[in-house]
Structure 1
């Protein structure tokens, strides 16, 4: 004999247990403004709902409130790569804390952001986020009038609300960290590629170098520089070798990003040089591997998770919908030494 499925508790069940009308219970459980019900009554209703295991019907709530409590999130490789995946965690965490569900759409490297955005808006999402793996300028998709839209890790040519990492201050903090520790003979592997000055390629990297250049110039420092074709470990290995051969007196190197830095570790090992005893190394991004290499890599963290959270807060009205820059905290590990320590002079 088939077992019957237990009946799901209803609003009327909660009202009977709490000794109140269904209308009053609805006001309390849906947090509707303007209710004159006492806090004691509200506590009684919540206790009754908990005792019965009552859960509101999302579909009924959506019809009643005119909202689906669903956010659309369109990604261009964020879900496919380890680099920016923290953004998804931030979006999901913030949405959950606001009682919202997230619908994800992934377009990959060459898919249509506009097409994916339309698919999600057809599902009546309350707002739309677009998250980019690499910060750049895009053309905003055509969206229904009045639908909130926030871009995470990018900008639009139309000037929509967006959230970005504060790369300029990160560049300043990286340069200042070396200067504060007495470094004056400094090299840069991965100097600003010309293509990165195009906002459609990168909306932020040029700011990273502006910040570094400002701080070094204020200190009267002109770093040795070497450009690279790509920011990859094998490129860091090759070009760091060239820089070290051409400038053997360097006490510190700035890597364009962590991938380049990982190659520099290998270049140092190939030359029997020690980090940080023979030269210090500092970078940008804070990849997971940065905490596992030895010594650990000092690097300015890209705040992907924080950007995801802030994007949701902007979308739902908990934060101002205006261009927002989030700090890139400097994560200090063992790859940078102070020249004031006599036990760690070059070649010690």
Structure 2
């Protein structure tokens, strides 16, 4: 047959039967319709020899499902940090008999639109729009009537203004959105330091007052709200806040170098991601101090290097794989017409597990709230 795809008609012709008979045999209905064993065996032998495969797209369209899902992300697929989002989605799709098509927009709205059109042209049953970092976003107009999940994104409310390039629409109230529970992680980080007896607490990456976070960082916004809420309830104010427009090691190094020059040892830091913490470690070491004996540090993200630091960094992990799995589960529930659980929630917050290592020391003042 050369390189041409082997068709059912080819099998029927080679086996000397009608296309209908070949179809019935290969769909497993030969016995039911009393087709002789000899004929069934001949059809199966020919189909195997010719390398015939069923046309899944045609079968799916007849059944009203292509058994395929689309996954469009900004930079998830090319990131070393968030690749488990895709791993979790792939595993969940495979377990349920679905294939996942993956496209990367690199944050370009035009490319995202083109990928969306390409997936819809291929009759995918639904689409996951994934983000490397948690963000606020609108549902693209092309997906208004398509089963969709916003992964690691908080849907903008109806009527919210966004950049025109996003081509926003009013977000349906039941578009599911699995996200890390950054708010609770912020609360837990503050509680961890308080329970260890710390009262001289500094914030690195954000300011010491509500709203003092880099523009557009949902994670920073929610972490800060949770931290300040718990500290206020304990009657503790942050000693200082250090707003950084970038959360990279050099930013953490500069902020913590200034902090230590002013306040000296005996401090506790909440760094807003692990890369800031890496810079903080360097600043502590260069000041002739040590973690956690002189400076305690708790952070967020669980970067792959966090466990390799000495001492290991205590941090709250983003549950990437669980988020990817949850996105597929929610998408399939939407495709099946099932309500989101818990209904009618839009946000589905997944816990950020604590990776407790050795960067927080107890002061002997535990429980003094």
TM-score (norm: length of structure 1): 0.79
Query: What is aligned with 2:266?
Result: 250
CA contact (8 A) 1:114 1:142 kept: no
1:65 CA drift (Å)? 1.1
One of 63, 70, 73 as aligned partner of 1:72:
70
Which residue of structure 2 lines up, in the alignment, with residue 312 of structure 1? 328
- 1:74-153 → structure 2 map (5 Å cutoff): 74-112=72-110, 113-143=112-142, 146-153=145-152
Per-residue CA distance 1:71-110 (angstroms, 9 max, x = gap)? 0111101112112211111111111111100111111133
**Aligned pair 1:327/2:340, yes or no?**
no
Aligned: 1:156 with 2:171: no
SS at match of 1:340: coil
Structure 2: give runs of 5+ residues left out of the alignment: 12-21, 35-51, 157-169
* Partner deviation per Cα, 1:263-313 (whole Å, 9 max, x = no partner): 011111111211111111110111111111111110011112111111110
Q: Deviations over 1:51-79 (max 9, x none)?
A: xxx98752353133121100011110111
Check conservation: 2:206, 2:220, Cα contact below 8 A.
Answer: no
Matches within 5 A, 1:15-34: 15=28, 20-21=31-32
Q: 1:184 aligns with which of 195, 199, 204?
A: 199
Query: How far does residue 323 in structure 1 lie from its aligned partner after superposition?
Result: 1.9
- Once the 2 structures are TM-superposed, how far is the Cα of residue 139 of structure 1 from its aligned partner? 2.6
Q: Single out whichever of 77-86 and 256-265 deviates more from structure 2.
A: 77-86
SS in 2 for 1:136: strand
* Per-residue Cα deviation, 1:181-240 (whole angstroms, up to 9, x for no partner): 111111111124968475xx1333211111000111111111122222311001111110
Report if the CA contact (8 A) 1:286-1:331 is conserved: yes
CA contact (8 A) 2:265 2:295 kept: no
Q: Residues 144, 272 of structure 1: CA spacing in aligned structure 2 closer, same or farther, 3 A cutoff?
A: closer
Distance 2:196 2:178 in 1: 32
Aligned partners of 2:214 and 2:243 also within 8 Å: no
CA-CA distance at 1:251 after TM superposition = 3.0
Contact kept, 8 Å, 2:214 with 2:244, in 1: the verdict is no
- Normalising by structure 2, what TM-score? 0.75
1:142: how far off?
2.0
Hey, what's the Cα distance between the residues in 2 that align with 1:83 and 1:194?
26
Task: Name the counterpart of 1:50.
Answer: none
Alignment: residue pair count? 303
Q: Are 1:169 and 2:184 matched, yes or no?
A: yes
Cα distance in 1 for partners of 2:199, 2:135 equals 33
2:183–2:222 contact (8 Å) kept in structure 1: yes
Alignment deviations for residues 106-141 of structure 1 (CA, whole Å, 9 cap, x no partner): 111334322321221111100010001111122321
Distance in 1 between residues matched to 2:94 and 2:346, nearest whole Å: 23
* CA gap 1:229/1:259 in 2 versus in 1, 3 angstroms: same
2:255 to 239, 242, 262: 239
CA distance in 2, matches of 1:144, 1:267: 48
**Corresponding residue of 1:27:** none
**Structure 1 spans left out of the alignment, 5+ residues:** 24-53, 342-348
- 1:316, CA displacement in angstroms? 0.1
Query: Which residue number in structure 2 is paired with residue 272 of structure 1?
Result: 288
3-state SS of paired residue (1:104): strand
CA distance in 1, matches of 2:144, 2:77: 28
In structure 2, the CA distance between the partners of 1:181 and 1:10, relative to structure 1 (3 Å rule), is: farther
